[in-house]
Amino acid sequence: MNEIIVSGMGIISALGYGVEENLQTLLKEKSGIAQLHYLKTTRTEFPVGEVKMTNEEMLSLLNISTTEPTVRTALLGILALREALQNARLASTKPTSANPIQKKIAFISGTTVGGMDMSEQFYLDFLENDTRNEYISTHDCGTCTEMIADYFGFFSQVDTISTACSSAANAIILGAQLLKNGCADIVVAGGSECITKFHLNGFNSLMILDTAPCRPFDASRTGINLGEGAAYIVMETADSFNKRVQENAELKAWCKLSGYANTCDAYHQTASAPDGEGAYLAMKKALEMAKLAPAQIDYINAHGTGTENNDLSEGTAIMRLFGEKIPPVSSTKSFTGHTTSAAGCVEAIIAILALQHNFLPVNLNFSNKIPELSFMPVTNSKTTVPLQHVLTNSFGFGGNDSSLIFSKR
């Protein structure tokens, strides 16, 4: 089987802009969660993981006119995608007749809110006057993905995935399938999501937002901290990568995507099944694809939202699959906040960085073990550990559960 190589990465999150800044902030064990600042709302009692840039600052970085209708999700996505393309030594500007794009490059992006931030801001204008009507068409998820793709202008295929918090992971899975079936030469996959009032009020209505920094896998956990950001990985077959590396010796293979799976237990609209059935099956099937035994997984980047339901359900699934030899487990949402539709790729990149640099991301704010679980999360990242295979989980509403396994090449 032709291996799927990860040849580029790009990320922007509450930890900073770029792969290197995110890595260094992780190593310093510094959370990006703080009091809400950029979203204009009265609900400031909930700490969040915001990207520390205004829309105007992002427009300036990207040389986009302030008069052009844009949304925050798209701006975050363009920044992350630009880094991923540069990292993979692919053109990050629109092709010309003198410099055409010769390959079929697909772009798969996950999002749920799309352009909702501007819809919220200008809703009364839509109703009462015609001054902001250009933003009506920027609302939906697909348009947001097209805005990101159009900035670069060379993708042969553009798709949007919206499966809530597993969206970006499912974008990666779809991208891998396109490569395996010969539908694309290269795939850029991940997700982008900004914080909106819809997000904030919606999760608050479910009574799962924490007014303190979140505490995944802690017995005292009471909910999530929302986050925002964007992340994309560039994937290609080993044949494609080997040909391109002959043309550009600076091209780097970060790792390979060795296994993946998506399941749906359909247990509840928002809650995970108490027995963790969907999570268990997703991890089990990913291991089977990778032809790995559970004992070969060296680290699990858990979905770990910090809610009472998720952490117990996911922990139960981990215990069921890994038995008495549970690998190190941590949730990095205590660093970034829950970036919802972008989380699957934000956390995939964090897992890949751990794999590359042989460290275990810590589970911040942990104090007390969950009595029903046999394990505790990672609390010390100072020790260098040899990592060969890492697993990352992303679980969405409706029981749409996905697991990815990345391995050193």
Residues classed as catalytic: 165, 303, 338
Measured over the CA atoms of residue 405, residue 113, residue 397 and residue 309, the dihedral's sign is positive
Contact 187, 108 (CB under 8 A): yes
Neighbours of 121 (CB within 10 A): 15
CA distances from 408 to 189, 196, 297, 298, 393 (A): 19, 37, 12, 11, 18
Could you tell me which residues come within 8 angstroms of residue 140 by beta carbon, excluding any fewer than 6 positions away?
114, 115
Phi and psi of 356, rounded to 5°? -70, -40
Contact 109, 190 (CB under 8 A): yes
Question: Counting Cβ atoms within 10 Å, is residue 275 exposed (0-12), middle (13-18) or buried (19+)?
Answer: middle
SS3 90: coil
**Which amino acid, one-letter code, is at 93?**
T
Could you tell me which residues come within 8 angstroms of residue 42 by beta carbon, excluding any fewer than 6 positions away?
none
Q: Residue 172: which of 403, 407, 409, 408 has the closest Cα?
A: 403
User: What are the structure tokens assigned to 117, written together?
Assistant: 């931030």
CA dist 341 and 55 (Å) reads 20
Phi and psi of 190, rounded to 5°? 165, -140
Residue 348: enclosing H or E segment and its boundaries?
helix 343-357
